[in-house]
Every structure is written in C-alpha cells, then in structure tokens.
C-alpha cells in the first residue's frame, strides 16, 4: 500500500487543511471505489497509517471524520445546461425548463443544487441563465466557449472505401439516420468541443462530490419528484455500493409533472448517482449522441435497450468493465425529463434520434458560418451526400 510522505502532506495541510489534504491523496490513488462510506474510510486510514502520530502529532480519526465532512450535504444535484439544438429542441427550451425546475421542483432537506453551463456560444442565453439561477440563490459553474479554440478544429479523415462500406448501397445515400450518423462521426472533434457532454458530466460529478455525500450529475431538464427523492434515499441508505441508476421517463408536456409522475413509463436511459468517494468518470472520448452516457452504463452492467446498440467504425473502442460492476448498486429513485418543446409523446425513438442528429449537424454548421471557420474544416451535408453517391 502506498503511503503519503509527511513533507507532502504537511504542505497540503498548511495550505488547505487536513481534510482536503487527505481527500486529495485518496482521490489521487483512486481507492474510493472500494470504500464508499465513512466507516470504510476509517478502515482505510488505519490500514495506511496504523499509528496516527506518524502523520501528525495531534492526528485523530475523529478529527479527520469531522473535517472531511464539514458543511457537506447528503446529496448534491448538479444539472448540465446546454445549447438548444433546433429542431430537436424548441428554441428557448433550456431557459424555460430551467425556470420550471427552479420554480416547481421541491426543496429537499439535505440537498444542494448547482448548475453547469456547458459551452454556450450564445452569450445572451448564458447571461439570462446566470441571472435566473442567481435569483433563486443557487450556484453555477461555467465551461466557457472560446471561438479561437473552436476554429482550430477540423473534420475526421475517413477513406472513401470506409464510407462506401458503411453505406452499403447507393440508394441509401440520402438524408437519413444512417447518413447523419456518418456525418456525426466526421464532426466528432467539433462536437466534443462545442457540446462536451461527458466533460460537463465529469465537471458536474466533481463539483457535486465536493458538496455532497451523494453526487447526481444530471441532464439539465431532469426533474426529481418528492416520491423519487424518497425512493433514492431509501435505496442508498440500505447498501454500501458506490453507483446507482435512476430510471427516467419523458414528460410530453410541462404541466403538473409531479402530479402525473405515476403515469409515466420509466424505461429511458437512466441518470446516474455516485457516492462521494467513487472515482468512476464518464469517458470523454465519447461524444454527444454516440453512447456518451451509455458507455458507463454498459460497464456498470445496467441492462436496457442500449445492450443492443452496435458500434460503428468511427466509435471509440469499448473499455472493459473491470471492477466497475462490483460497485453498482442497481436502481434508486427515478427522474422525469421535461419536454423539449417539440414532442407530443408520439415520436418514435428512431425518429427522435434522427432529429437529434440533424440538429447537431445544423448547429455545427451554424457555428462554422458564424465564426468564419475555413471551408476545408466544414461539412456541407448536401456536398457530403453527393460524395457518398459518387462512390457507387
């Protein structure tokens, strides 16, 4: 077992205090997946430091317990707010859904709520969200959009043979889910920057773990009902596991959502909750619309329709589950995704997915045009389809 040096620890204690020093040490070693609660933390401390005075003259386990958990809530919900992607989203839905959550979601005892502003290219919208969140006395963290950085990003290079194999037949070379999926693959580096969903989830997770014993990094339009909150707390108190899945339903409209909670089907891709000392993170190689959250769900072993998803040639290689499955505690609570403003509950999943892909392609094209990105770094969808047809 590796030990921390007195000199390094003393420096951290001087600057940050004992609790933060130990916190930094444990996270650096990545050992909290095995020790998801305070009692187990004591065991680990005693294994590493059998004599407390080897660490500091006045070292005491009780002091560590108290300092590590000073001003820490039971749960921190960190919601990620992103750009409206029209036509998948109604223009203004992010601001509208945020206002709805701030106004109608219950104030839960022992719960802090924060917000992550995820690379808003539209500064007017970002400013409106900041003012709205601040008016309710809540905090936000911003991941900034820097135009100069975005302009440097180009397209993925793919051979014509790869493209031809992916399409299979010339009659498929039209605007469709298959072509849009391929377009998304070529745009993936741009998407990772402009819509960095897993980077934002990791920021949300880290910020929430600093504030609560349980961290819920959630998509910005997800609502927790009183019943869902109670179910979550009951589940996590009954186990020592480090990660849980919160089943999710989609609301067809934002009216009396909490009262209608029992009417919904909780079969959508779940949100995830993490113990404060769980070191698992979302894989930032995966980008928005391509298994971004599912990659971690796969490795947890949580079953669903996503088990049937197939990889494309441009997708990252899957990581092995390793010990991750052993930290998965199953389902806990539930959440409801508010309406995006463009659905009436009748849109089939494959059509919803195609709308999302088209919205991403259009958003990237809009950014490229607005920021004057060089032509060879852009993807013109019509020209791309013509290129595909020329391969047959």
Which pLDDT belongs to residue 255? 86
Comparing 31 with 196, the larger pLDDT belongs to 196
Summarize pLDDT for 368-390 with one digit per residue, the tens.
999 999 999 999 999 999 999 99
* Cα–Cα distance, 183 to 388 (Å, whole number): 11
Over 50: is that where the pLDDT of 185 sits?
yes
Q: Give the model's confidence band at 212: pLDDT under 50 very low, under 70 low, under 90 confident, else very high.
A: confident
Backbone φ and ψ of 173, nearest 5°: -80, 75
Average pLDDT of the segment spanning 342-352: 68
Compare 290 and 2 and report the one with higher pLDDT: 290
Give rounded-to-5 percent helix, strand, coil for the chain. Answer: 45, 15, 40
pLDDT at 44 over 90: no
Per-residue model confidence as pLDDT tens digits over 168-180: 888 888 888 889 9
Mean pLDDT over 335-358 rounds to 80
* Dihedral angle computed from the Cα positions of residues 197, 124, 97 and 216, in that order, rounded to the nearest 10 degrees: 40
Q: What is the mean pLDDT of the chain?
A: 83
At which residue do the structure tokens 């927790």 appear?
224
Average pLDDT over residues 64-86: 74
Q: What is the mean pLDDT of residues 109-129?
A: 96
Average pLDDT over residues 180-203: 96
pLDDT at 168: 86
User: What is the pLDDT averaged over residues 25-49?
Assistant: 45
Q: Are 215 and 209 in contact (CB under 8 A)?
A: yes
pLDDT confidence of residue 280: 85
91 band by pLDDT with thresholds 50, 70 and 90: confident
Does the pLDDT value for residue 300 go beyond 80?
Answer: yes
The per-residue pLDDT for 270 is 97
Please tell me whether the overall predicted TM-score, pTM, comes out greater than 0.75 for this model: yes
Is residue 50 over pLDDT 90?
no
Half-sphere exposure in the Cβ direction for 6 (13 Å, CA): 7
Distance CA 86, CA 84 (A): 6
State how far the Cα of 170 lies from the Cα of 158, in Å rounded to an integer: 18
Provide, rounded to the nearest whole percent, the portion of the chain with pLDDT above 70: 80
Residue that wins the pLDDT comparison between 324 and 76: 76
Please tell me which residue, 54 or 323, carries the higher pLDDT value: 323
Is the predicted pLDDT of residue 60 greater than 50, yes or no? no
Share of the chain above pLDDT 90, in %: 59
Task: Specify the CATH number for 73-392; select among 3.30.2310, 3.90.550, 1.10.1060, 1.10.10.
Answer: 3.90.550
Task: Domain ranges for the chain, please list them.
Answer: 6-68, 73-392
Taking each helix axis from N to C terminus, what angle separates 38-48 and 61-68, rounded to the nearest 10 degrees?
A: 130
pLDDT of residue 324: 78
Dump pLDDT digits (tens) for 194-207: 999 999 999 999 88
Q: Where is average pLDDT lowest: 91-100, 110-119, 125-134, 235-244?
A: 235-244
**Rounded CA gap, 372 and 125, in Å?**
21
Q: What value does the mean pLDDT take over residues 305-315? A: 91
What pLDDT is recorded for position 143?
96
Residue 224 binned pLDDT confidence (cut-offs 50, 70, 90):
very high
């Amino acid at each position: 077992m590796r030990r921390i040096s007195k000199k390094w620890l003393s420096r951290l204690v001087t600057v940050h205090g004992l609790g933060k020093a130990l916190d930094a040490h444990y996270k650096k070693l990545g050992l909290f997946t095995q020790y998801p609660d305070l009692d187990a933390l004591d065991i680990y401390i005693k294994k590493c430091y059998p004599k407390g005075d080897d660490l500091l003259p006045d070292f005491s386990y009780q002091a560590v317990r108290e300092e590590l958990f000073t001003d820490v809530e039971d749960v921190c919900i960190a919601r990620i707010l992103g750009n409206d992607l029209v036509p998948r989203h109604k223009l203004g839905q992010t601001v509208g859904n945020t206002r709805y959550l701030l106004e109608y979601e219950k104030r839960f005892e022992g719960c802090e709520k924060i917000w992550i502003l995820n690379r808003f290219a539209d500064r007017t919208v970002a400013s409106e969200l900041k003012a709205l969140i601040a008016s309710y006395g809540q905090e936000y963290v911003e991941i900034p959009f820097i135009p100069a950085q975005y302009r440097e990003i180009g397209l993925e290079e793919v051979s014509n043979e790869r493209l031809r194999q992916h399409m299979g037949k010339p009659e498929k070379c039209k605007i469709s889910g298959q072509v849009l999926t391929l377009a998304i693959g070529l745009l993936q580096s741009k998407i990772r920057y402009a819509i960095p969903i897993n980077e934002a989830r990791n920021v949300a997770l880290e910020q929430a773990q600093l504030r609560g014993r349980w961290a819920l990094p959630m998509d910005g339009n997800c609502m927790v009902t009183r019943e869902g909150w109670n179910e979550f707390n009951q589940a996590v108190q009954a186990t020592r596991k480090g990660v849980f899945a919160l089943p999710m339903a989609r609301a067809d409209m934002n009216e009396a959502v909490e009262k209608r909670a029992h009417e919904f089907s909780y079969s959508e891709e779940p949100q995830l909750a993490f113990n404060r000392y769980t070191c698992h993170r979302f894989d930032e190689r995966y980008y928005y619309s391509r298994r971004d959250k599912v990659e971690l769900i796969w490795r947890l072993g949580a079953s669903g329709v996503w088990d049937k998803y197939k990889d494309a040639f441009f997708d990252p290689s899957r990581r092995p589950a390793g010990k991750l499955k052993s930290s998965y505690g199953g389902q806990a609570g539930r959440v409801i995704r508010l309406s995006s403003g463009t659905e009436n509950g009748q849109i089939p999943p494959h059509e919803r997915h195609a709308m999302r892909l088209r919205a991403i392609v259009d958003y990237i094209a809009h950014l490229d045009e607005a920021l004057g990105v060089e032509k060879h770094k852009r993807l013109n969808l019509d020209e791309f389809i013509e290129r595909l047809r020329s391969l047959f």
